[in-house]
Structure 1
């Protein structure tokens, strides 16, 4: 709701939240090396990461936290995050009263005032630990304004691209985590790469492919991995999905412990992508918006050292392909 209200006012969500400092909001310091491990003291919470087209909500406990200079990890059994600390610029503790209920959350924003991650307390959460966390990280600055600046998405400079160089490097991949480094070295976006690589390694499917896949995964109980990212955080669900419901343009997963909301009308392209690894090919399903930006990404559930689930591979390879003329 804050996101929509801020949009109507022509300001960022971060600016909207900051306006309530001194009332229902406390500004806190985003010292992630200390703050991320402290989130585990809250007990069971709901972690939320979103972009303009998809929302990922996962219930669990912040465990197994590692914080480095350029990235951080949360590797709990349920809450699984890849974090880019430089984008966690503004942080707030927020309380909202709804009748007799007080809703508490910690909200983090980038330099543009866009939300990168939120932590919502639940009935089982430790409120005393939450209050102690606020006291520990409370900022001396409790002003009602934040400085924001426009952040442009990083755009590689190689507009034409070298298809031969891409294929050479792609075929030498031994781990999916090498993919981003490969793109960076070639100055390509992910969207450019899937268009260039060739239909044996990436092919376009019908635009409703993500919905078809989720319905198929639910019906066959194929465990999946669902990745949704903001500028500062990627949040991952690993496991089965069960309840898939359409509500207007939204396609939703409404399972205990995991909710996902996807704007199907924002999807303009869906691709099946194959990457070689030391464990064999790994297949992903990727949905892009009209600007070529990745909205959501899926894999079959797997661990390092394991091959891909045949049921997952069969599911995505069964999705109707677009004819080459349509895909061009």
Structure 2
């Protein structure tokens, strides 16, 4: 597991990280990018670091399913899942999980108290227990990365978390390999999905989780496939739609789903939102127990999607980046009552459209 870099290289990475922290840089991802390494490589460089180091990491055994089954013992934590344009943070408790399998989907599904996750551990490659010293004391977390060193999922301990359970979990899953570094590997190949297969999967969608997971699994083809659906099923709206929807949902007290993630993890918020704030390019929801951060400048297209669903048709706003990968999905909470569902449908119809360019040659896809 150790990278071919020498010990001096890891010492330099640790020193540069400390300098960046002292300069006020807060996000590991941005610090790693400035150093031209992956975030996972930044964390792995701190495996075996001395006790006095600013950050220390312990490599975990890749027994992801067993490890995840033990996360409920930690009590209240903050779960964080992100992609390049969106960060989704949710406070709550993990729970026992169940496997979910359909014709096109094999994932693990976990609904805890406030933490709602749909993960596919086949894309998980590296895991670490991380301790970082700061002004408020030691911040402890568990962090998981794909083969390239890109973050898949993280959880951070809070004051209410069970520290002894965390320490027991780290001891139980500590890997015998505690050398620093990681060797980037090729990402797991995802079989290409053609339009006909997409339509089959589309008909099997039961709820907003399934829709998000399908659009994440088809990688950069999701927005292309939507272009070839009938206008009643998918219509492109202007890039201001995300801001409009979140502000309206907050003002009207609508209970909604907000899902975001990556190919290895989908994280959901379910309920009303309150505080919607714009800060530079970031569109934020800053609520107690739930934070969302979306880079508006990285939204390349926005779509209102209407899906058959298990309990009848539901509509969602789906955001894509320039590569056609899903950034986030916002939908109504179907369990909240007919009045809110009606308000949501009306909101979807008020969103300003982008003039569509459609093709009738479905067979060519």
Measure how far apart 1:208 and its partner are: 1.0
| Corresponding residue number in structure 2 for 1:15 | 41
Q: CA deviation at 1:142?
A: 0.4
Residues 76-115 of structure 1 mapped to structure 2, 5 A cutoff: 76-115=112-151
How many angstroms does 1:82 deviate by?
Answer: 0.4
- The 2-side partners of 1:307 and 1:152 are apart by 44
1:53 aligns with 2:79: no
Q: Alpha-carbon deviation of 1:174?
A: 6.7
SS in structure 1 at match of 2:29: helix
The answer (yes or no) to whether the contact 2:259–2:269 under 8 Å persists in 1 is yes
Measured in 1, the distance between the counterparts of 2:307 and 2:127 equals 37
Partner Cα separation in structure 1 for residue 225 and residue 325 of structure 2: 12
Match of 2:305 among 257, 261, 273: 273
- TM-score for both structures, normalised by structure 1: 0.88
Query: TM-score, normalised on structure 2?
Result: 0.80
SS in 2 for 1:14: helix
- In structure 2, the partner of 1:197 is 229
Structure 2 equivalent of residue 213 of structure 1: 245
Any conservation in 2 of the 1:284–1:297 contact (CA below 8 Å)?
yes
Q: Distance in 2 between matches of 1:312 and 1:39?
A: 35
Tell me how far apart the structure 1 counterparts of residues 250 and 210 of structure 2 sit (CA, whole Å): 30
Aligned partners of 2:255 and 2:332 also within 8 Å:
yes
Counterpart for residue 265 of structure 2: 233
Residues 157, 187 of structure 1: 8 Å contact kept = no
3-state secondary structure, aligned to 1:117: strand
Aligned to 1:256: 288
CA distance in 1 between partners of 2:269 and 2:212 (Å): 20
Q: Given that residues 220 and 324 in structure 2 are in contact (C-alpha distance below 8 angstroms), is that contact kept between their aligned partners in structure 1? A: no
Secondary structure, in 3 states, of the residue corresponding to 1:156? coil
Q: Could you say which residue in structure 2 is the equivalent of 1:299?
A: 331
Specify whether residues 285 and 68 from structure 1 end up closer, same or farther in structure 2 by C-alpha distance, changes over 3 A only. Answer: closer
Segments of structure 1 that go 5 or more residues without pairing to the other structure are none
Cα–Cα, structure 1 residues 67 and 18, in superposed 2: closer, same or farther, change >3 Å?
farther
* Contact 1:109 1:116 (C-alpha < 8 Å) held by counterparts: yes
For 1:148, the equivalent position in structure 2 comes to 184
Q: 5+ residue gaps in structure 2?
A: 1-26, 50-55, 359-365
Residue number in structure 2 paired with 1:2: 28
Distance 1:180 1:207, change over 3 A: closer
Deviations 1:37-95 (A, max 9, x none): 21111111000000000000000000132257942121113100001011121110101
Q: Offset of 1:126 from its aligned partner?
A: 1.0
Equivalent of 1:43 in 75, 89, 93 = 75
Is 1:322 aligned to 2:363, yes or no? no
Contact conserved, 1:173 with 1:275, CA < 8 A, in 2? no
Please give the secondary structure, in 2, of the residue aligned with 1:207.
coil
The answer as to 2:206 corresponding to 1:175 is yes
* 1:226-257 Cα shifts (integer Å, max 9, x gaps): 11012210000000010000001000000000
Are 1:133 and 2:164 matched, yes or no?
Answer: no
Residues paired across the two proteins, number? 321
